[in-house]
């Protein structure tokens, strides 16, 4: 009997080994047929490590940032081969998308100062492969409301995608702590401190907020605002490192990359290394474990209110994970999640996957929750008119109010990229303002490409993915509310009155997606 079991285990292990070798061989074969690596895929700038960041101040970080930008210019831009000196290359100094030619290079860390004495300070944390550009509109809103806005360039970002091949999430965390130290140096307590994080930056904002509960040396935030936060990603990212094993051999160096694409976006990497996916998984794994541990120990009581903006359809992060791994654990502290539903007009409904147009019901609370649940959706299937439906903490009845914002007829859903970007953004906006003073060479968000498949250097879904938010005015309105809302001793919301609204019963069923839906999609770069 024991001999039979041992024989079966032996054959099982042998089968798994054969399958693993076959997959690695297939991966190696595909790599050989991929595009060659360019200088921006091989040159790794010298960033400060986590220990160095914890010992540095803001001036030291900016000095190193200057040195990094100079090294990229010397080792990449000034060493380009003739065939790399093309207008679409962001590293070509004569290119219209060369970041250094702009009036302001948003790849760099920045500080926006209000006109008078600051009333508060906010730290803004961008996403993976991203740059401080993505939250600049939110930063300006805070500045206009009297806040100092500090946007930190996270290590390995804003330079060359090769920087992501060696970075660790602990380095991003240390940069977050540095930015908060600078925030409190400029605007000391008791003035409010807010954290705003987009995607991977949202995970960093939450991780810092939890760390501050454990470490009295870390200044605590009064508010946390998240835009499509990376609370959970698919398990594929755990094993992403295996896909890079062939890269140990020089002929298979491309295996260290999940995608190798020409770099034509001045403020975001197009190419994406395996290590980027791995570090994001390590960060979200550590974050989820910390949330669970502290929730069980009853240590989340002093956590500041968390306001999250999220699309129900998101190919980069798991929307259900935001609710199950974060919001389900939060105390009754005034937190809220705002979900943007799909466009339910009749012309889109037949084209959507069933999981898409029932997702909002599956995500809504089925029993009284500690947080406010808000959905932005069509008033009905015959109209582009949108409404806000909210379920207050401890209730299952919702209240509805109309919004003076239609769902644009050509948009079937928001995307991971769209949430913090207005429609008139000069680079990513669908309807860029012709009067804008910013000129980035072309507008990626307004491209309406039509033609035959196979001709473009990027997949067509790259161009169709929405990169700006038609509900951005609503988002700013909600941020203004967070800025003006008073806080108690622990940062909790002080009760405020709400405007009367029409009660509506919410048909809520499941809190997680069914197998085969979003939660099982392969990890996609932001």
* Mean pLDDT, residues 339-368 taken together: 85
Residue 14's pLDDT band, with cuts at 50, 70 and 90, is: low
Quick: pLDDT tens for 204-247. Answer: 999 999 999 999 999 999 999 999 999 988 655 454 544 544 54
Start-to-end C-alpha separation, the chain: 52
pLDDT confidence tier of residue 505, bands split at 50, 70 and 90: very low
What does the pLDDT look like over 28-79, one tens digit per residue? Answer: 434 444 688 999 999 999 999 999 999 999 999 999 999 999 999 999 999 9
Q: What is the pLDDT of residue 514?
A: 30
How many Cα atoms are found within 13 Å in the side-chain-facing hemisphere of 499? 5
Q: Specify the pairing of strand 223-227 against strand 193-198.
A: parallel
Out of 1-10, 19-28, 74-83, 354-363, pick the least confident: 19-28
Name the pLDDT band for 445 (thresholds 50, 70, 90): confident
Average pLDDT over the chain reads 84
C-alpha dist (Å) from residue 373 to 155, 190, 304, 323, 326? 34, 30, 17, 10, 13
Tell me, what's the pLDDT at 358?
A: 85
**Strand order through the sheet with 147-152:** 110-112, 147-152, 120-125, 193-198, 223-227, 306-311, 336-340, 372-378, 386-391, 397-403, 502-505
- The residue-averaged pLDDT of 100-118 equals 95
pLDDT at 9: 66
Cβ atoms 391, 371 nearer than 8 A: no
The residue ranking higher by pLDDT, 435 or 344, is 344
Residues 6+ apart with CB under 8 A from 223: 192, 194, 195, 304, 305, 307, 482, 487, 491
Beta bridge partners of 355: none
Instruction: Give pTM, 2 decimals.
Output: 0.86
- Residue 363 CA to residue 341 CA, distance in Å, equals 11
Per-residue model confidence (pLDDT) at position 467: 92
Q: What are phi and psi of 375, to 5 degrees?
A: -125, 135
Instruction: Determine contact, residues 251/262, Cβ cutoff 8 Å.
Output: no
Higher pLDDT, 256 or 230: 230
- Report the C-alpha gap between 251 and 246 in whole angstroms: 9
């Amino acid at each position: 009997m024991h001999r039979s079991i041992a024989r079966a285990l032996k054959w099982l292990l042998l089968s798994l080994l054969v399958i693993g070798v076959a997959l690695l061989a297939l991966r190696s074969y595909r790599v050989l047929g991929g595009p060659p690596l360019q200088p921006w895929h091989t040159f790794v700038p010298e960033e400060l490590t986590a220990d160095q960041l914890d010992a540095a101040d803001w001036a030291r970080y900016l000095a190193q940032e200057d040195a990094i930008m100079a090294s990229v210019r010397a080792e990449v831009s000034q060493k380009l081969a003739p065939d790399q000196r093309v207008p679409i290359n962001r590293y070509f100094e004569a290119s219209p998308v060369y970041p250094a030619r702009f009036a302001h290079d948003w790849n760099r860390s920045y500080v926006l100062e209000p006109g008078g004495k600051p009333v508060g300070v906010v730290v803004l944390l961008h996403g993976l492969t991203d740059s401080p550009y993505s939250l600049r509109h939110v930063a300006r809103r805070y500045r206009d409301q009297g806040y100092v806005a500090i946007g930190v360039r996270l290590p390995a970002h804003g330079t060359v995608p090769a920087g992501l091949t060696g970075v660790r999430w602990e380095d991003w965390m240390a940069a977050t702590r540095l930015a908060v130290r600078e925030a409190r140096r400029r605007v000391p307590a008791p003035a409010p401190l807010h954290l705003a994080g987009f995607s991977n930056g949202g995970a960093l904002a939450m991780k810092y907020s939890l760390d501050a509960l454990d470490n009295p040396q870390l200044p605590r935030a009064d508010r946390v605002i998240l835009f499509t936060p990376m609370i959970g990603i698919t398990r594929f990212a755990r094993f992403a490192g295996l896909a890079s094993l062939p890269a140990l051999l020089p002929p298979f160096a491309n295996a260290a990359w999940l995608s190798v694409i020409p770099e034509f976006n001045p403020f975001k990497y197009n190419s994406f290394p395996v290590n980027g996916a791995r570090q994001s998984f390590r960060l979200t794994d550590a974050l989820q474990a910390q949330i669970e541990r502290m929730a069980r120990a009853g240590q989340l009581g002093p956590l500041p209110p968390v306001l999250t903006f999220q699309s129900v359809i998101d190919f980069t992060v798991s929307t259900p994970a935001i609710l199950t791994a974060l919001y389900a654990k939060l105390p009754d502290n005034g937190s809220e999640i705002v979900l943007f539903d799909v466009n339910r007009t009749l012309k889109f409904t037949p084209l959507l996957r069933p999981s898409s147009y029932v997702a909002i019901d599956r995500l809504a609370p089925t029993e009284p929750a500690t947080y406010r649940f808000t959905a932005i959706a069509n008033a009905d299937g015959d109209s582009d008119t949108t409404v806000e439906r909210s379920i207050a903490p401890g209730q299952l009845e919702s209240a509805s109010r109309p919004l003076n914002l239609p769902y644009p007829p050509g948009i079937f859903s928001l995307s991971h990229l769209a949430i913090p970007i207005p429609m008139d953004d000069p680079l990513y906006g669908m309807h860029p303002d012709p009067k804008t003073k910013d000129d980035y060479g072309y507008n990626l968000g307004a491209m309406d490409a039509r033609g035959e498949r196979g001709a473009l250097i990027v997949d067509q879904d790259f161009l169709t993915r929405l990169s700006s938010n038609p509900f951005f005015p609503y988002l700013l309105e909600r941020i203004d509310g967070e800025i003006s809302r008073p806080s108690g001793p622990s940062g909790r919301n002080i009760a405020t009155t709400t405007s009367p609204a029409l009660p509506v019963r919410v048909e809520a069923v499941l809190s997680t997606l069914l197998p085969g839906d979003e939660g099982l999609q392969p990890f996609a770069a932001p």
